[in-house]
Structure 1
Amino acid sequence: MDKWKDELGSSRSASWTVDAIRPRLQDWTNRRWGHLSYRLVQMLSGHGCFGKYLHQIAGREPTPRCHHCPEVSDTVAHTLFDCPAWEAERRPIANITGLDASTLAEVISKILQSEDAWKAFHEFSERVLTTKENAEREREADPESAPLRRRRRAGRRRREFIRQA
């Protein structure tokens, strides 16, 4: 466990997630509840339907802005803590954990304390990211959207599409 903690400490990638989980690594690995679903991992990592990720990493958005409020940068932290569009979805987490969290480390600490807290965070991740994914699909399908946003034909990678253009 110590070796794993040391290796995570020297990691240059996924610092948002590593910084939050590393101090509680023993608790994380010994927990008796909670599976890691696709959307929960997206919420923990920031890799998903977040404007910043879609703009900077995936190259699928012209800007990192939030499509659900006026914020200029839609990050996982914005979605999880600040975006007014998800206020109702955040309420069950606050009710169960008694936490008005402002960091992922605080969230991790709380969801490791009870199965109910883990379930509330899991349900938040599922609801919010499903909604964000559906909105992204609508933008992709819109013939008026920017070419980089439009849905690609099945089986074609972005690089191949760019080479042919």
Structure 2
Amino acid sequence: MQARGERPSAEDLERIRAAGRAALIRKWTEDLEAPVAGLVTVEAVRSHLIRWVDRRYGSLSYRLVQVLTGHGYFGEYLHRVAGRETTPVCHECGAPVDTVRHTVTECAAWGPQRHSPTAVVGGDLSLSTIVGAMLDSQRCWDATASFCESVLSHKEASERLREDDPLADPLRRRRLGRRRRQSHLLPPLQ
């Protein structure tokens, strides 16, 4: 059509968009059937994929993504993946392993913050249940996002204090980015 200089009709455009969307959903579904990483996240989202894509509310914040992926200020991640902790211990309550599940469902330090998502999601705060509830209503999405923001911002602030501690293990001290490492090479400002 366009090769002949014709403009596609609104119906043609809608059909093309629908076919493209269906192909994309099929590809994502196939990719989620055999994940190579992020198994917990994939398991939580896979059964809700169409609802996730079709939702009309809720945006992903930095801290919400940390909870959904497990890549954040969790002792297990900082120890096993980032290599920033000597152990996966929870710095808030002393539990031997600090994971997303521990933070969201068990850690006593976050009991007060946990009331809001528990009130709207229910007692089961597993990742799959949380994702399903977030897709059921904007109220659940907002309660979950607020919980993640509150808890992860506190965990981040605590992490920064531990990094800045002059007595901290060198493994856990804040690492400077390339720019900050090379700033000594710049001539001083006059």
TM-score normalised to the size of structure 2?
0.79
Q: Which runs of 5+ in 2 are unaligned?
A: 1-24, 181-190
Instruction: Name the larger-Rg structure.
Output: 2
**What is the identity, as a one-letter code, of the residue corresponding to 2:176?**
R
CA distance in structure 2 between the aligned counterparts of 1:41 and 1:72, rounded to whole angstroms: 24
Work out whether residues 118 and 125 of structure 2, in 8 Å CA contact, stay in contact via their aligned partners in 1: no
Specify the alignment match of 2:142 in structure 1: 119
Deviations 1:8-30 (A, max 9, x none): 11112001100000001000110
Runs of 4+ in 1 over 3 A off after TM superposition: none
Cα distance, 1:156 vs structure 2: 6.9
Specify the alignment match of 1:28 in structure 2: 52
Specify the alignment match of 2:162 in structure 1: 139
Aligned length: 157
**What is the identity, as a one-letter code, of the residue corresponding to 1:132?**
K
Deviations 1:109-160 (A, max 9, x none): 1111000100000000000000000000000000111001011234279xxx
Deviations 1:78-125 (A, max 9, x none): 00111111111110011123x111421111111110001000000000
Alpha carbons of structure 1 residues 57 and 85: separation in structure 2 relative to 1, 3 Å: same
Cα distance, 1:65 vs structure 2: 0.3
Equivalent residue in structure 2 for 1:6, among 8, 30, 33: 30
The percent identity for this pair of structures is 46
TM-score normalised to the size of structure 1?
0.91
CA distance in structure 1 between the aligned counterparts of 2:98 and 2:71, rounded to whole angstroms: 12
Q: Which runs of 5+ in 1 are unaligned?
A: 158-165
Specify the alignment match of 1:41 in structure 2: 65
Specify the alignment match of 1:104 in structure 2: 127
